[in-house]
Structure 1
Amino acid sequence: MKRKSEHSPKGRGLADRNLMTSLVRASQDEATAGSSGLTESEIYGNMFVFNFAGHDTTAHTFTFAIFFLAANPQVQDWVHEEVRQVLGDRDPSEWHYNADFPRLKRCLSIMLETPRLYTPVPVAKWTDREARQLSVGDKTVVIPPNTMVIPSYASVHTDPKYWGSDSLAWRPSRWINATAPSTTEHSSEHLINPQRGTFLGWSEGSRDYSNPTPRLAFRSRD
């Protein structure tokens, strides 16, 4: 007989809580509700995207995050304080993603500070068939057609001009802006929004809003 904690509120075992099962179940639920649901080809396509666009990059980020946490017990205490404030003594079955996840700002800062120093994927950009103009300060640089451009992520992410004199240090609290004097007042803390172009940890641009990689990494931290 399985313990109660091994089951979700709907009675489904933890063994069923994986991506493939969720995709199939969601498709079946939609089909039951009268919608067409996901086709088998679409399910395979989504699995391919998550495995190759989100799995390795997430694993890479977690590898360094765990290393940094192990080397910085004071950050562990800092994050633990937030988890206790947000989740308290509630049973995991009572946790609510939509309500609890956005409040874990310190946890999220870990997933922002880590790729700042160890970017999972240095994305290359192409000019395609047309030349492109790039404004750099008061200058305009023309990049020829069919040219691959790979930004120096390490240089951008460790520039003291944007990240301070300790830009080479792993300090997740740099992402938190506390509006109240006490840093223990969790409700007063807010994530900062870095200047555009200074943080490329998950690439940048409108495409990122549909990119599953950062969403998978942030969700996986649970």
Structure 2
Amino acid sequence: MSVAKVQDMLQMTSTHILNLYELYVLPNLSTVKNDKKKLACIGSAIAATLLYSLYRKISLPPVGIRAIPRVNIFTYMASVLRGDDAHYQLKHMYAPLIAKANGVYVRPNRCGWSVYVADPADIRYVYSKAEIFPKAPNSIGEPNTLLSAMIRSPSIVTTVGESWKVHKKAAHPAFYRAMPVNLFGSLVQQVFGEIEKENGTINISGYVERFSFDAITAAGFGYNANAIGDKNSEWVGYYTALSKGAFDPFFFLFPIFDTTLRWMFPSRIHLHKILEVFLGKITQIIVDKREMIAKGAASSLGENEKDLCTLMIEAEEGEGGVLTNAEMMNDLLTFVFAGHDTTANAMASAMYYLATHKDIQQKLREEVIEFLGDAPEDVIPTVEQTKTMTYLNMVIKETLRIMGPAVWGHPRIAAEDTELGGFFIPKGTIIITDVIGVQHDERIWEEPYKFDPERFNPDIEDPTKRTTNAWFPFGSGQRQCIGLNMTMTEQRVVLAMMVRKYEFCLPKDSIHKDGMIIAGMDLIGPKELVLDFTKRY
């Protein structure tokens, strides 16, 4: 049944039925002598009125933002249930509205009806005015869902004001230190070892996911999950199940089945129990870390050898924020869930574009060899080397533009009446920066769906062009992604070492041979990317 037919049916059972009662039943209600019949008529009229009210509440946004062009909710729901990817939704539902209304439009999401902003100037305004647009409460959606239990509060992502400053102060030393490139490089070498075993056609999506998980757990709290060497490890099983379950489209659209009616889904109950076990493991790691630091066991380590948890605990003795074990657990959990999938998807996307653009792959290889040499041995680049590899950074920036893993910014809320794109925005409105929209706006980017690293060539890019203000994969302002340095370092190390060691391309029977098949909703990347690898040494 089409979306239009469903909508017509709902309208028939609400507006039309209500009209029938208003025209024929209610005027003649006084002539009904039988009390039971009269009661039935009144009850039916009330039911029709409630159905009509419910229909309007679901299908229409709040009165204050109805003047802004909006997505049809039934079209949107059908798209989500079909599994349409984010690029398809952008092209067919959002881009026409972006062009029509100065980059401002209204659509539903897990926070309810929200105003989306896709104009560079408006996005910068939202990011720079934290006092007007603070993080929205319950921004992860309905409380007690699996996702909100994973991205917990209070944490560095969900808190605002003084509470957020405490979390930021605690985490700052950990994320603005020298990055552990040797750790990342050694994990890449482990991936090389696994590729050697399979020898040829490799599901690289799985390896970058497990690399990213080992990197974030090792850098985050010094735990060797061994995800690269054991894809069936306990930690990987827990995380994979939770990550997949959190973004299930059905529970996204109908969160009541993940809260009040969770008892109807034993598998959902099981996932919440898995999360409890996962949380318990992280909490125990924090307790053990505190004991270890109290005994002075971490004092001999260099700053770039210490994990995030250790640095956050040590910072409490200096100028860092003091967090409870529960608050620190929330932050570490946020770093894992927010940092793992985004980094893994970004690396997989970059591998896809390099595999399908052999000239770009070769140009990148030549630059890496220029810095690291071409001796037949693995070389782990330094932080300084990766930062100065101009073409490497151009490739990464273009990947994050065309296939940025996070398609929307974190929800904000208008703390006062304001204006965006020429539209009045009433206090209390949810505001979301449309990252995927602005980074694919054909009015800003020439051929926005074409992979072209030269867009970010510092030698030819005009700094006054609008494109320099339309790249927001990490957000902006004081709430910019705190993990920016870590994920960029990971991507630089992985891609530099990978192109130096291998040449790679899509197999002839690849599911991506006619273009990338995108997986994910809020976080996106290539689905099951399989590549053919040929060793260079």
Q: TM-score, normalised by structure 1?
A: 0.67
Residue 177 (structure 1) aligned to one of 458, 477, 495: 458
Alignment partner of 1:28 is 2:298: yes
Q: What is the percent sequence identity of the aligned residues?
A: 20
Question: How much has 1:172 moved relative to structure 2?
Answer: 1.3
Residue 458 of structure 2 aligns to a residue whose secondary structure is strand
Alignment partner of 1:133 is 2:435: no
Residue 149 of structure 1 aligns to a residue whose secondary structure is strand
Superimposed CA distance per residue, residues 11-52 of structure 1 (whole angstroms, 9 cap, x where no aligned partner) = x9988983132996998137999x972679487455323212
Between the aligned partners of 1:145 and 1:117, the Cα distance in structure 2 is 33
Does the 8 Å CA contact 1:116/1:201 hold for their aligned counterparts? Answer: yes
Between the aligned partners of 1:193 and 1:160, the Cα distance in structure 2 is 18
CA pair 152-95 structure 1, distance change in 2 beyond 3 A: closer
Question: How much has 1:143 moved relative to structure 2?
Answer: 1.1
Question: How much has 1:125 moved relative to structure 2?
Answer: 3.4
CA RMSD of aligned residues (A): 4.1
CA pair 30-128 structure 1, distance change in 2 beyond 3 A: farther
Q: Residue 440 of structure 2 corresponds to which residue in structure 1?
A: 158
Residue 107 of structure 1 aligns to a residue whose secondary structure is helix
Q: Residue 113 of structure 1 corresponds to which residue in structure 2?
A: 398
Superimposed CA distance per residue, residues 139-167 of structure 1 (whole angstroms, 9 cap, x where no aligned partner) = x4321112122333333212344322x22
Residue 133 of structure 1 aligns to a residue whose secondary structure is strand
Alignment partner of 1:85 is 2:367: no
For structure 1, which segment, 78-87 or 41-50, has the greater mean C-alpha deviation from structure 2 after superposition?
41-50
Between the aligned partners of 2:388 and 2:462, the Cα distance in structure 1 is 10
Does the 8 Å CA contact 2:413/2:430 hold for their aligned counterparts? Answer: yes
Residue 211 (structure 1) aligned to one of 455, 467, 482: 482
Between the aligned partners of 1:102 and 1:56, the Cα distance in structure 2 is 23
Residue 146 (structure 1) aligned to one of 411, 419, 428: 428
Does the 8 Å CA contact 1:133/1:142 hold for their aligned counterparts? Answer: yes
Residue 298 of structure 2 aligns to a residue whose secondary structure is helix
Does the 8 Å CA contact 2:339/2:487 hold for their aligned counterparts? Answer: yes
Between the aligned partners of 1:191 and 1:32, the Cα distance in structure 2 is 41
Amino acid at match of 1:87: L
Residue 419 of structure 2 aligns to a residue whose secondary structure is strand
Question: How much has 1:123 moved relative to structure 2?
Answer: 1.2
Question: How much has 1:89 moved relative to structure 2?
Answer: 4.6
Does the 8 Å CA contact 2:414/2:426 hold for their aligned counterparts? Answer: no
Q: Residue 198 of structure 1 corresponds to which residue in structure 2?
A: 470
Does the 8 Å CA contact 1:175/1:191 hold for their aligned counterparts? Answer: no
CA pair 93-80 structure 1, distance change in 2 beyond 3 A: closer
Q: Residue 314 of structure 2 corresponds to which residue in structure 1?
A: 37
Q: Residue 187 of structure 1 corresponds to which residue in structure 2?
A: none
Amino acid at match of 1:112: K
Between the aligned partners of 1:117 and 1:62, the Cα distance in structure 2 is 13
Alignment partner of 1:75 is 2:75: no
Superposed, which structure 2 residues align to 1:95-106 within 5 Å? Answer: 95-97=381-383, 99-106=384-391
Q: Residue 449 of structure 2 corresponds to which residue in structure 1?
A: 168
Question: How much has 1:74 moved relative to structure 2?
Answer: 0.8
Question: How much has 1:192 moved relative to structure 2?
Answer: 6.6
Q: Residue 123 of structure 1 corresponds to which residue in structure 2?
A: 409
Q: Which runs of 4+ in 1 moved over 6 A?
A: 12-17, 22-27, 30-33, 190-194
Does the 8 Å CA contact 2:439/2:471 hold for their aligned counterparts? Answer: yes
Query: How many pairs were matched up?
Result: 194
Question: How much has 1:205 moved relative to structure 2?
Answer: 2.3
Does the 8 Å CA contact 1:176/1:191 hold for their aligned counterparts? Answer: no
Does the 8 Å CA contact 1:86/1:103 hold for their aligned counterparts? Answer: no
Does the 8 Å CA contact 1:58/1:216 hold for their aligned counterparts? Answer: no
